[in-house]
Amino acid sequence: MKWKRIGDILILDSKFDYESYDDLENLSRKHNVKTIMKIDHIQGTKREPVYTVLYGDETETVNKENGCLFKLDLAKVMWSKGNNNERLRIAKLVGDDETVMDMFAGIGYFSIPIGVHSNAKHVYSIEINPNSYFYLKENIKLNKLTNVTPILGDCMEQAPKYNADRIVMGYVKTTHHYLKVAIDSLNEGGILHYHETVPEKLMKTRPIERVISQAGSRDVELLKLNKIKKYAPGVEHVVLDVRIT
């Protein structure tokens, strides 16, 4: 059986089966959780979960990761546990006094670690889902951050209003459609962290070609191609670190 614990909530694999309520109660005691859920999938541009509550009735929790606190409601917003190393990696790359833009910010998956672990001058965090935006604001307060600004809206409309030394594009579906607005908002010599799900055979070509195609006359320097995790059979979730000059 596959499972993951988020705060004091247990998320079970969709294939998990049980015979009685007692089985769930025993599982709750074993893992010391208040609620047990199944999340079937995440849907739409607002990344909303399709879920079933199996045990308990509270779906809001606080999860601690990499020295950061994340408050969230798992019935309303997504949590990707497999990206925790990447979130800390980016935070440690941020230089002193950098201005950072976090596109598709969610509840602050990247913004909060950057605020906690770096000396960024400012972080602009753009999120379209009102529920995620609510918890983004909660997490800024929870972690006592003063240099992170939450912005509710579509990245396509909001990103052009700001300029940044570093831009994080931590979404993987249709992210390439936002490459031009991201690159246009990037300062000279700035760094872009572009996420994509890509077939293994295209991993070394398609992501960088997509960035180059949207960079126009600006030069693109590949710094790193980082594999995050396997997304599906034969498909990898990768992030491309590039400098745009």
The whole-number pLDDT of residue 97 equals: 97
The third-level CATH classification (topology) of the domain covering 3-58 is: GMP Synthetase; Chain A, domain 3 (3.30.300)
What is the mean pLDDT of the segment spanning 182-210? 97
Residue 156 to residue 103: CA distance in whole angstroms: 9
What is the mean pLDDT of the segment spanning 113-125? 98
Residue 194 to residue 210: CA distance in whole angstroms: 10
The rounded percent of the chain whose pLDDT value lies above 90 is: 77
3-state helix, strand, coil in the chain (%, to 5): 30, 40, 30
The DSSP bridge partners found for residue 38 are 12, 52
Q: Does the global pTM surpass 0.75?
A: yes
Structural domain boundaries in the chain: 3-58, 81-244
For domain 81-244, the CATH class is alpha beta
What is the mean pLDDT of the segment spanning 111-123? 98
How far apart are the two ends of the chain, measured CA to CA in Å? Answer: 48
Residue 24 to residue 180: CA distance in whole angstroms: 48
pLDDT tens per residue, range 4-36: 899 999 998 877 777 788 888 998 999 999 999
Residue 23 to residue 6: CA distance in whole angstroms: 20
The whole-number pLDDT of residue 82 equals: 65
- Residue 132 reports pLDDT greater than 60: yes
pLDDT tens per residue, range 78-115: 887 768 899 999 999 999 999 999 999 999 999 999 99
Name the residue with tokens 């300029």: 163
- Residue 44 reports pLDDT greater than 80: no
- Residue 1 reports pLDDT greater than 70: no
The whole-number pLDDT of residue 218 equals: 96
Q: How many Cα atoms within 13 Å fall on the side-chain side of residue 26? A: 6
Q: Say whether 81-244 and 3-58 share the same fold.
A: no
